[in-house]
Amino acid sequence: MSRDKKTDKTLVYYVVGGAVAGAIAGYIVKKVGFKNIMNVLKSKKIIPENIAETISEFTSRHEDEETDDDLL
């Protein structure tokens, strides 16, 4: 295999590291709960209130759509 086509190891490390970080974050969100995390972020002023409200609005719409689908 020529050097031009050889994949750089750092790129592979970034991809694998990102996948591991995403898996850990997903696990934490599942265990702790999205609403609890949002409440902490709002109370500590890590994210602005208007952005938190927008995120909550989108997640509540998604939950409403899931319950509507379950009724059918």
Residue 57 to residue 51: CA distance in whole angstroms = 10
Picking from 56, 59, 58, 18, the residue whose alpha carbon sits closest to that of residue 47 is 56
Q: What is the pLDDT at residue 68?
A: 53
Residues 6+ apart with CB under 8 A from 43: none
Counting every residue written for the chain, the total comes to 72
pLDDT in tens, 11-64: 899 999 999 999 999 999 999 998 888 888 888 988 888 888 888 888 777 555
Residue 39: predicted pLDDT: 86
**Residue 25 structure tokens:** 């974050």
The pLDDT of residue 63? 56
Q: What is the dihedral of CA 33, 39, 45, 46, to 10 degrees?
A: 10
